[in-house]
Amino acid sequence: MIASRASKTIALSSLVALTLISGMTPAVGTELTTQETAPPAQSPSVSSQTPAAQPSAAEPTAPAVETEPAPTEPAVVPNASADPAPESTLPAEPAPSSSVPAAPTAREELTPEDYANNPELLAELIGRNGAEMGQGLERIAVTGDPQQATPAESLMPEGSARSLDAAPKAAAAPAATNYWQPSTGVLGVDVSSHQGQYVNWNGAWNYGSRFAYVKATEALSYKNPYFGTQYTQSGNRGMIRGAYHFAIPNVSSGAAQANYFVANGGGWSPDGRTLPPLLDVEYNPYPSLGNTCYNMSASQMVNWIRDFSNRMVTLTGRKPMIYTTTDWWSRCTGNSSAFADHPLHVASYNNSGAGTLPRSWSYYSVWQYTSSGPVIGDWNQWNGSLTSLQAFARGSGASGSSGAIHQAWLRSGGANGPLGTARSSSDICGLHGGGCYRSYAGGNIYWTAATGAHAVTGAYWKAWGEAGWQMKIGYPTAGVRCGLHNGGCYQSFTGGNVYYHPSGGAHAVTGAYWKAWGEAGWQMKIGYPTAGVRCGLHNGGCYQSFTGGNVYYHPSGGAHAVTGAYWKAWDEAGWQMGTLGYPADRVRCGLHGGGCYQEFTGGHIYNTSATGANAVTQPYREAWRLSGWQMGRLGYPLQPAVASQGYRNVEFEGGWLRWTATGVQVRYK
């Protein structure tokens, strides 16, 4: 987590002043661009002008295995003879250095191996303040390359990492403060030595911060000189606090850096006030140490992170939370899915949402959404309630399913059953609505006090994600059940069901769409769902496709199925863009001569075996009424009688309705 602080404001502001003085053209994009959340993908046959022509089941992008914070029972800390013992979570504050290390003298070009083999060189490279959270993201915003320093950084020694001491002395207006904050969750901050010894914790608290992560260490050569003060004062203000380590993976093993971290403040206790340790693994801020991935292959990086994590579990009893960006994770781990049982702290600077997550996760625990917020700079959102944050801090020892998840796994056959071996060693809690889960090779088991423990796997898990996970359709209330019409299966959730059939795959049907499906005769009449709900139709409409028709929704008429001859007649009348509008009711029968009809917001479609289905809207409908409806001499329509097709003659069984500028006239056969 590289911190973005007052130093960031000074450095960038100084750059503006210097460029004005020198006449240079400043770099474009010193602020991050706000990302917009893309609307749901629409079938090629659906547009804002033309509805889907019985759209096929588009396969949505599958989210990564859903993950939540992954607490584990704390292990007994080994004695000093085995490995360095972790210190208290409130370590004594090291005395700050009295001076900045001298700039390196001229020497032959050094390699990453030189720094790895010489701690003094590495300490000189890191500098007094070390790396700062989000430095790579800011470089991308300004230069387009996480390995290319910004103009502001270029004015400083490489190792200074934009410390206050190294900032150029130039007067300029401070960078704009981002006062936006997410509408849900719990706010928090992160700090490092860049904020100095005395942070305005009261100001952060008053703005809403209820948790804080404090940088403790970096690589094997750096300790935050203000860690003790920052950690203690944030806790004294009432915040739940934790420590983080900035990884330099190519200078030592992961286990060695875990030892160094825990020995210098990175411990954990289940007191409800201490967050689990955090591993900050992101863009390499030091070009001297290699490329943005530290000259490591994806497999080497994954193994390094696993080595760090395994050692942290041994020392603290908790898997570390992982801080990263989706871009870096994709570049440097090959978008690994190996850490689904670790909580995620994702960095994505915008005011719209965390965006696409790395492949290991379908759910983030913490989102760092800005580096230019008020008071502190870096602001974060815990993705849940304060109660769930407190449970996350306590770990599984104080919360969880009380063995219900484990028992459900055993009932399924344990390691020899469809779920296979466990990927999580304990319940992972803090999910939306107080849920917990465990990850297995073949899927996950989810638990809440209200629903019990049930597995969600394969196509059902994917469909659950497509529908919005537990935040939208709740938790599973049972396992998969089969025996439905024509070989279908389903799994029930608190807010809807996921249905599966080989013809269309697995998709959730919920709320108004589920009611409309039943209204139309369920799978026996219009088949099984072939896709999730898709929106973006004319005037705010949405639809869900089934093998035998579609269910359309619009606020003006609700959700109703349109199938077969009615769907074709709707097409002939101009779809929802025409005068018919959206469906407002199901098909109803019992009319004169065996006729049926379906009401739409702007008219009706009438259908008989002799005439087929045809739409009738005003002004034709009023003239038809005056002539006695279908019981009169005109009978049923043989063509669409809709105003959107303009002045014309429309044939009925017993005559015509002719619409002209003077009105509608009836002419009988």
For residue 518, report the phi and psi dihedrals to the nearest 5 degrees: -65, -40
The model's confidence at residue 397, banded by pLDDT at 50, 70 and 90, is very low
pLDDT at 81: 34
pLDDT at 640: 94
Report whether pLDDT(641) > 50.
Answer: yes
User: Domain-by-domain residue ranges, the chain?
Assistant: 189-397, 401-526, 563-668
Among 243, 262, 228, 281, residue whose Cα is nearest residue 393: 243
- The answer to whether the Cα torsion of 72, 76, 78, 80 is positive or negative is positive
pLDDT tens digits for 309-367?
A: 999 989 988 899 999 999 999 999 999 988 887 899 999 999 999 999 998 887 789 99
CATH number, span 189-397: 3.20.20.80
pLDDT tens digits for 177-200?
A: 999 999 999 999 999 998 999 999
pTM score, whole prediction: 0.51
Query: CA of 174: how far to CAs of 10, 150, 440, in Å?
Result: 7, 17, 49
Query: CA of 292: how far to CAs of 90, 303, 338, 593, in Å?
Result: 33, 17, 21, 76
pLDDT at 410: 87
DSSP state of 319: P
For residue 656, count other CB atoms closer than 10 A to its CB: 18
- Cite the DSSP H helix spans in 28-162: 112-117, 119-126, 135-143, 151-154
Q: Who wins on pLDDT, 108 or 445?
A: 445
Distance between CA atoms of 618 and 118, rounded to whole angstroms?
Answer: 86
pLDDT at 51: 37
**Kind plus residue range of the DSSP H or E element containing 439:** strand 436-440
Residue 143 CA, chain-centre distance (Å), reads: 27
Q: Who wins on pLDDT, 195 or 4?
A: 195
Kindly list the catalytic residues. Answer: 190, 280, 282
Question: Which tokens sit at 419?
Answer: 């779920």
Residue 46 · residue 537 · CB < 8 Å: yes
